[in-house]
């Protein structure tokens, strides 16, 4: 458990406006990096006085918008056939992206229209891929930026409030910090294992057919 404590301390030391922007940019592209491990911890530092809550929300939202714009133009440039073909490659499966997952996200976009880029920012599993169908549909850039910024901003405010008020509970949290980090690490490894097993079974089933 000491290794989780060391990783946590290193992470907190290096958490600043730039890393918040960078991590949220990554979170809005293809990598499975949840915003829940970025914004709340940065807001915690804001409560300490190292950062400001407004700055955390601002740079987090700008990072989310930047990553979303990357996905948007990536899909716009590649087009549907190539994008779905890439979703069936091994490297995409390593990132837990499949054609089925992409199809689900595209259906969500079709069902909810332009507002899906707003609502989708609040839905786990949809959040980081909702920009792809927007690009495929050639959604106008103005509404895309507006809805994405609005959705990401609201979500980041919620997460920032959680982290900020957690600072007042630090005396109750710190005695159990190592156990909390151990549990979070174990859950993340379990999540990766489940995703990997599902991808393997799906691939094996396709090979048998």
Q: What pLDDT, in 10s, does the model give residues 69-104?
A: 998 988 888 877 777 777 777 766 666 677 777 777
User: Do 93 and 200 touch, CB atoms closer than 8 A?
Assistant: no
Neighbours of 208 (CB within 10 A): 6
Q: Please give the Cα distance from 49 to 28 (Å, whole number).
A: 27
- Mean pLDDT of all residues in 34-59: 90
- Whether 49 shows a pLDDT value over 90: the answer reads no
- Whether 178 shows a pLDDT value over 70: the answer reads no
- Mean pLDDT of all residues in 59-69: 94
Q: How far is CA 207 from CA 18, 194, 201, in A?
A: 44, 20, 10
Q: Please give the Cα distance from 85 to 108 (Å, whole number).
A: 20
pLDDT score recorded for residue 9: 77
């Amino acid at each position: 458990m000491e290794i989780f404590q060391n990783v946590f301390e290193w992470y907190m030391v290096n958490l600043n406006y730039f890393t918040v922007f960078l991590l949220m940019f990554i979170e809005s592209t293809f990598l499975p990096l949840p915003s829940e491990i970025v914004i709340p911890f940065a807001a915690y530092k804001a409560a300490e006085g190292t950062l400001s809550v407004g700055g955390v929300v601002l740079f987090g939202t700008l990072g989310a918008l930047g990553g979303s714009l990357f996905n948007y133009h990536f899909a716009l440039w590649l087009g549907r056939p190539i994008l779905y073909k890439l979703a069936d490659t091994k490297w995409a499966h390593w990132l837990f992206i499949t054609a089925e997952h992409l199809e689900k996200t595209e259906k969500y976009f079709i069902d909810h229209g332009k507002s899906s880029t707003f609502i989708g920012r609040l839905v786990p599993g949809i959040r980081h891929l909702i920009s792809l169908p927007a690009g495929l549909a050639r959604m106008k850039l103005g509404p895309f930026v507006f809805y994405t910024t609005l959705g990401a901003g609201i979500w980041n405010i919620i997460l920032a409030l959680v982290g900020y008020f957690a600072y007042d509970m630090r005396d109750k949290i710190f005695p159990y910090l190592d156990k909390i980090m151990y549990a979070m690490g174990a859950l993340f490894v379990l999540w990766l294992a489940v995703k990997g097993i599902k991808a393997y079974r799906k691939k094996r089933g396709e090979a048998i057919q």
